[in-house]
């Protein structure tokens, strides 16, 4: 009996050692526990009226941080500690969150939406606390202060689509095309309006009507009836997926679409739009997006796909996940540069901004979107987009990368 117990004990010991060796092998390179923890804050609207965007974005952020810490060894052995909070797409919550990040000694922060960053930026700018916003608007970066746009802003979207429309869709040279705008009643819509009012005449477009809607809208029949009376050739929507799907459904009910051209800024045209609106309803809708789409042959696709399938398979195919995965890669590069240039023990938000943010130059996020560079006077870090179209339920690029020149509104 004693011999049996001894043999069993030896077998279990061998199994335990083998298990531990296997775990050690798969975990290398490890974060050095003796090194400093680098704290960054992250917010996304995981609940509320923009949760269809916030959840894949939050997943992309944290999956990339897991990859950086577990497979890349963090930042020169220093672990990234990301505190990820839900802002609920609520300005009051967002303001409270950024104050917490400042008070608790975080080095910088990231957020998803221009609307939430609009609420956060006053405190961030006053405290010299740098932040990155995935989806930006010109009010955040002009004049340039402490907020950096990860991608071109919603005004850049409008300009890119307008140029494409004039070159590739509009064929009647006897008159200007008539454009209507339907805009979310926050910075997402305001940025597109600002760009359209600044550039429409130059591009040969007549703006005939501008309407606004709320993120909670369930019907825009009344506003679209008024838009229909202006006989537009094109309807441009700058909003999030849920309201955008409502507007397109209502346009179809009113017999406006198909017929006119409909296009969306990058906040609205994701897989969530197809799911909410229905592939048959949104077929043919154009949009502008600042990243590749799923399955494209770029170096960063394989690792990102591995993580989404492991941790959040339901978000595979949603380009908002790509944006936030790339955002975390940028955050890690900022920290790498700051540690290299100043040393981990000396980091403050101000040093990270000067020695990290402002040292970004042609950083490649695995080809998931354009190269990331800080340019003095232009706080947009990536500066290129593509025009896409819904084709048979898929988001298909119809252009290559289009550079988005800075629209200098102050001039």
Tens of pLDDT, residue by residue over 358-395, are 999 999 999 999 999 999 999 999 999 999 999 999 99
* Residue that is written with structure tokens 């907020």 in the block: 147
Q: How far is CA 276 from the centre of its chain?
A: 19
Does residue 22 or residue 226 have the better pLDDT? 226
Cα 380 from Cα 11, distance rounded (Å): 59
Domains 37-152+294-380 and 155-289 share a fold: yes
Superfamily of domain 155-289: Response regulator (3.40.50.2300)
Q: Are 373 and 362 in contact (CB under 8 A)?
A: yes
Q: Is-contact 79 339, C-beta < 8 A? A: no
Structure tokens at 37: 């923890």
Q: How many CB atoms lie within 10 A of CB 225?
A: 12
The first and second tokens of residue 174, run together, are: 């006897």
Looking at 45-138, which runs of residues are DSSP E strands?
A: 79-86, 109-111, 131-133
The pLDDT value recorded for residue 5 is: 38
> Is 21 or 78 the better-scoring residue by pLDDT?
78
Q: Answer yes or no: are the C-beta atoms of 402 and 387 closer than 8 Å.
A: yes
Tell me 199's DSSP state: H
Q: Is the pTM of this model over 0.85?
A: yes
Residue 179's pLDDT band (boundaries 50, 70, 90)? Answer: very high
Higher pLDDT, 77 or 19: 77
Place of tokens 């799923």: 294
The pLDDT score that the predictor gives to residue 55 is 98
- Res 35 pLDDT > 90: no
**Residue 11: its pLDDT value, please?**
35
| Residue 31 pLDDT | 61
pLDDT of 29 = 60
The sign of the CA dihedral 116, 119, 122, 128 is negative
- Domain borders along the chain are 37-152+294-380, 155-289
Q: Which residues pair with 147 in a beta bridge?
A: 131
> Which superfamily is assigned to 37-152+294-380 in CATH?
Response regulator (3.40.50.2300)
Identify each DSSP E strand in 187-246 by its residue range. 206-213, 234-238
Indicate if the pLDDT at residue 4 is higher than 80.
no
DSSP type of residue 358: G
């Amino acid at each position: 009996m004693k011999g049996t117990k001894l043999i069993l004990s030896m077998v279990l010991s061998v199994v335990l050692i083998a298990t531990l060796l296997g775990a050690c092998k798969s975990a290398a390179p490890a974060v050095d526990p003796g090194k400093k923890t680098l704290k960054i804050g992250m917010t996304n609207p995981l609940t509320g009226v923009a949760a269809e965007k916030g959840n894949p974005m939050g997943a992309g952020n944290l999956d990339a941080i897991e990859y950086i810490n577990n497979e890349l060894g963090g930042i020169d052995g220093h672990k990234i500690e990301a505190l990820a909070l839900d802002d609920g797409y609520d300005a009051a919550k967002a303001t409270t969150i950024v104050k917490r990040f400042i008070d608790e000694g975080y080095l910088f922060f990231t957020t998803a939406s221009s609307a939430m960053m609009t609420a956060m930026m006053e405190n961030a700018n006053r405290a010299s606390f740098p932040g990155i916003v995935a989806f930006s608007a010109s009010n955040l970066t002009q004049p340039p202060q402490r907020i950096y746009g990860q991608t071109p802003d919603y005004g850049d979207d409008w300009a890119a689509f307008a140029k494409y429309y004039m070159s590739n869709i509009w064929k009647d040279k006897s008159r200007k095309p008539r454009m209507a705008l339907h805009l979310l009643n926050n910075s997402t819509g305001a940025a597109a309006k600002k760009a359209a009012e600044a550039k429409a005449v130059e591009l040969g477009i007549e703006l005939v009507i501008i309407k606004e809607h709320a993120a909670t809208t369930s019907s825009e029949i009344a506003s679209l009836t008024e838009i229909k009376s202006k006989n537009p050739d094109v309807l441009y929507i700058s909003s999030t997926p849920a309201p955008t799907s409502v507007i397109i459904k209502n346009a179809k009910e009113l017999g406006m679409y198909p017929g006119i051209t409909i296009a969306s800024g990058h906040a609205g045209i994701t897989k969530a739009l197809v799911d909410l609106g229905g592939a048959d309803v949104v077929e043919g809708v154009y949009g502008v997006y600042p990243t590749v789409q799923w399955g494209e042959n770029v170096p960063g696709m394989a690792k990102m796909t591995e993580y989404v399938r492991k941790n959040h398979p339901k978000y595979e195919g949603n380009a908002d996940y790509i944006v936030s995965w790339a955002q975390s890669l940028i955050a890690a590069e900022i920290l790498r540069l700051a540690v290299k240039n100043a040393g981990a023990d000396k980091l403050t938000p101000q040093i990270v901004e000067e020695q990290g943010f402002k040292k970004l130059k042609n950083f490649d996020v695995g080809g998931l979107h354009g190269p990331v560079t800080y340019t003095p006077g232009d706080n947009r870090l990536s500066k290129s987009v593509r025009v896409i179209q819904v084709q048979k339920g898929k988001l298909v690029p119809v252009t290559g990368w289009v550079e988005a020149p800075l629209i200098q509104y102050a001039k």
